[in-house]
Amino acid sequence: MKTAVIYSDEWRRFDYGPEHPLRMERLGLTWRLMEGYGLTARSGVTVRSPAPADIEAVARFHGREYIEILRAVSAGDWVPHAARHGLGPGDNPIFPGLWDAAQLVAGGSLLAATLVAEGEADRAFHFAGGLHHAMRDRASGFCYVNDAVLAIMTLRQRGLRVAYVDIDAHHGDGVQFAFYDDPNVLTISTHERGDRLFPGTGFVEEMGQEAGLGCSVNLPLQPFTDDAIYEPAFEAVVPPLLRAFRPDVLVLQLGIDSHRTDPLTHLSLSIQGFTRAVTRLLELGPRVVALGGGGYDLPNVARAWTAAWAAMNEITLPPELPPQSHADMKRLGLETMSLWDPPAELPVDTRRWAEEYAMRQVQAIREKIFPLHGL
C-alpha cells in the first residue's frame, strides 16, 4: 500500500490572531509527533509539500468577486463590503497573507486528491485541510476556501464516484450544500446537533434535492455523546450507506473537536474512539483522501491526527509519546505524555439522554434515507 502525507512549514507564517482559537501551532506539533513516532520515513510513505493553488483552481468552486476580495484584504487593502462575505472581526479575521494561506490549504488538498486519483497513493492525508464551512462567496467558521469541495471536484472531474464522511463536531455544511443535488457525491456528517452548535444546520431532514435526494446524510448528536454512544450510531448508519453507494474514493474530514476536552464543543469522544472511527472508515474505502478539520485543544489535535496517520499505514503505536515530543508539550504548557486518554465518565442520566437522542436520529435516517438507497 502506498500512502502520502502532505505538509508544509509555510504554515508558520500565518496567524489568525492571539485571541483566535484556531492556532497554527497545531500543525507543526502534529508533524513533529508523527516524526517522533517514525511515521514519516517508513517504506511506502511519500512526504509531499504542496504548491499554492492558482486562481483558476480555486474558481472552480468560489466566485471571482469573492476571490478578488480575499486577495485585496490579504494585501492590506480596505474593502468596504468585506463583511458581506463573512470577513472581519470574529470567526474569520482579516490578517496579512490570508489569501496565501487559502491558496496553500487548497493546494494541499488538491495534491492529495490528485495523488489518489492518479494511483500514486492509495491513501493521502493533508491534515492542514478540511476547512469545510466556506461557501461559494462567503467565509464561514474559520474557513475562507473550501478545500474539501475542491478536492471532491478534482476526483469527480476524473469520473470517480465520491463519498465524503465528516466526523468533525461541526456540521460539514459547505460541502453538503456544494453537492446537494449531485447523485455522484454522497455526503455523510456526524456532528453535534445544529440547534446547539454552529453552523445551525445538519438535521436528518436535510437529505439533498432533485437527483441528489438521499445523498446528503446527517447524524446529529446530543452534547456529551461519548464513545459508547457514538460508535453504535456510526456503525448503524455509515457502513450500510457506503456499501450501498459503492464509492470509488472516500474523502474524510477528520476534525477532532469532538473530543471531550475541546473548548468549543460539547461531545465526549476519546482519542481511542476517534481512531476506531477512522479505522472503520479505512476498512470501507478502496482509496482515501483524508483531511484535517477542527480541533482546538492542541494535544488532542496532534495525538488524534498522528493516530489517524498510523491507522492509514496499518501501524499500531505504543501509548507512550516519543521522548522528543515532551519538550514540545512542555513549551506549549501541555501536560499530556500519552497518546491515549481515558473515556468520558458520564452520569447515568446524561448518557441515557444522549443515547436516546442518537437512537432516534438513527431510526429517522433508516426510515427516510435508507429506502432511497435500496436498504
Closest of 336, 324, 298, 337 to residue 32, by C-alpha:
324
Q: What is the CA radius of gyration of the chain?
A: 19
Q: Which residues pair with 264 in a beta bridge?
A: none
Residue 96 and residue 147: Cα distance in Å, rounded? 20
- Beta-carbon count within 10 A of 140 CB: 20
Q: Which residues pair with 124 in a beta bridge?
A: 4, 289
What length is written for the chain? Answer: 375
The active-site residue, picked from 133, 170, 191, 259, is: 133
Cα 55 to Cα 99, 143, 294, distances in angstroms: 10, 17, 25
Residue 133 among the catalytic residues: yes
Query: What are the grid coordinates assigned to 117, written together?
Result: 486519483
| Inter-residue contact 234 to 280 (CB < 8 Å) | yes
- For residue 217, CA distances in Å to 116, 137, 140, 237 come to 24, 24, 21, 9
Report the alpha-carbon distance of residue 28 to residue 39 in Å, rounded. Answer: 14
**363 contacts: CB under 8 Å, gap ≥ 6:** none
How far, in whole angstroms, is CA 109 from its chain's centroid? Answer: 11
Beta strands in the chain (DSSP E): 3-6, 45-48, 123-126, 162-166, 185-192, 216-221, 249-253, 288-291
List the grid coordinates of 353: 439522554
- Choose among 290, 263, 266, 246: nearest CA to 113: 290
Q: Whose grid coordinates read 506549549?
A: 332
Residue 54 DSSP symbol: P
Helical H segments across the chain, by residue range: 25-36, 55-58, 64-74, 98-117, 147-157, 173-178, 227-245, 271-284, 298-312, 324-331, 348-368
Residues noted as catalytic: 133
